[in-house]
Structure 1
Amino acid sequence: MDVAAKSESKDNLPLLLTQSADPLKRTGTVWTAVAHIVTGVIGSGVLSLPWSTAQLGWLAGPFSILLIASITLFSSFLLCNTYRHPHPEYGPNRSASYLDVVHLHLGISNGRLSGLLVNISLYGFAIAFVITTAISLRTIQNSFCYHNKGPEAACESVDAYYMLLFGAIQIVLSQIPNFHNIKWLSVVAAIMSFTYSFIGMGLSIAQIIEKGHAEGSIGGISTSSGAEKLWLVSQALGDISFSYPFSTILMEIQDTLKSPPPENQTMKKASGIAVTVTTFVYLSCGGAGYAAFGDNTPGNLLTGFGSSKFYWLVNFANACLVVHLVGSYQVHINIEIPCQ
């Protein structure tokens, strides 16, 4: 082989490595990745951010959201580079899941420990999805009952029925091949998450305008003891951290992306867009909710408007939350997302 041929072969090496003998067809783009991330990140946790902001106050609350968002973005950038190895862009080998990366770089023993923690996390997500869905469905039913029969009517319902209904729906959806990887699933779920977030934000702003002033303080809600304040602050920081959970599904999302351009570049761009948009929504929703309720900020923002004349809008927001949780459950629980 002459020098020119060797040079041409060397220049084409990245392309040859990218076009490896992988039978799976990947068609994902930066926008499908953004939709997947938003589906996984913006969940019911956004509705607890006004309460978290109330515990931390006007200064520490927004700062904590920005700090955790920055840490999430930085860690996602690092994780993006581990998808292909030994080279982060040209591979040729791929890590199709978070646990694959742990096994490759940290060994089998750490991989087993990580697998245990990931599964515990998934069980936690599943339980939270089931309970939150049941609460939202019960809230919708009780709201219509109270407005039709009066506030003194016996409108109590059993959450277990709604939990069983949610489980039955998930069983049916799980039988559809690759349902959790259908593009429109994440798009619909992302739209639903933005819808109920902005409804909560809009109702909060309307209440602020009606009052004529904003509630809240720099130090947040005052407590009777330092230990109680420390506990509430820790819980608030935990809620904010819980609102940015997509590291365990980042590899699976990246494994849906087409190449070129290199997957890590696309995923970094998608992560930046998704985290930026998410942080804006979190800051807006958390701040508006705290300004509307002050020391009386509820743990779930939508519950604060149960007696509002816009109860139908609150019910619609809860319905959007249910639809989002149905789709988000499929994305999280089917953790090994095959390519699109």
Structure 2
Amino acid sequence: MANEVEQAGGLGFLLALVDPGPAARVRRRTGMPQENTAAVTKPPRGPAWDLGLRDLPSSVVWWMLQQDDPRINELVYGHCAIDDRVRHDILNGVPHGPGRSRRVPVAKGLSRYPPPEIPRAAGPAELTAALREVASMAQGRAAALMVRREDWGVVAGADRERPLPGYARWALSVRPDCPPEVRTQFGTHRKFTHRLSTAGVVDGPAVYATTTRPARQALSVLAMGRWAFPDRLTEAAAALGPLVRAELGGNTEAWAVLTQLLPTFTGTLPELVTTARAIAGDGGEEVDGPLSVGSGTTDPPGHQGDAEVVYGGPSWDTGQTLGDDGSPWGSATGGRLSAGVRRIRASWQRPGG
């Protein structure tokens, strides 16, 4: 059930990228549940580990902190991607959003925690000296904790004057609040960028939305972003919107194919979108009438039938009927499958099917 709800939220994010009219038609024909807009934009209640936050990339956690929302700060306070410097700032009400200076209220749930002890440099010269003395990763992490929000300019200047030690640059670059331009200054070598990727560092929501694999993972995080980092989510929407409108739009067949592919698709979101359109073609464009790919029911336009419309597709139709060959691509509908689904059946037949 959790996966079904998660997939529904991800598809809801994608549908929001197309015009309301076509989106409503797609929901009606594929059986995607209508979302409660107010509910999906409010931080949920419950422990962070119950909300799927434990495995979030560190950059996603940083986008959440940039909301400067006490409830969100409480959720991510214990996340392994943030260090004692960020925890110290949360407990002291330091804002993380760009251009903000007003103190952020501290959630009641965090009031029992004392701020971590953080070493503080007397000035830019002492901070620079501490960073230049780094000779191990442990020393690098300790020195990085000294860097406050207003110190990144000092760090960048010192590195331009003479490159900082490798361990210092690495410890600074994996901090979720390290400015992207400073991180780029530290290095663009393939090995360096691979280490950043392994540490969960992503260069913005647009890059995350278009390069993350598998697509279902990206959609899960982007759906959560509607309450977790709405200020940054617009970047992801701007990156995906033109492709989704061009390739899917109001093509109900393409959307139905996408719901079938999503659970096991290993590529990126752009690859998923273009694959779904290529399989479906233009057959489902601007067509009304009930359609449920998950159950195999694809009645032609205008056909009412006696059966209740099935809500929706493989994710929500847990009682789907198997076809004569034992696969969910066929069903007790006399083989009345749409052209797009027939093509999926031919191309994506399960082994032994």
TM-score range, shorter chain: under 0.3
Task: Pick the structure with greater CA Rg.
Answer: 2
Does 1 or 2 have the higher relative contact order (CA < 8 Å, sep 6+)? 1
Higher share in helix: 1
**TM-score under structure 2 length normalisation:** 0.19
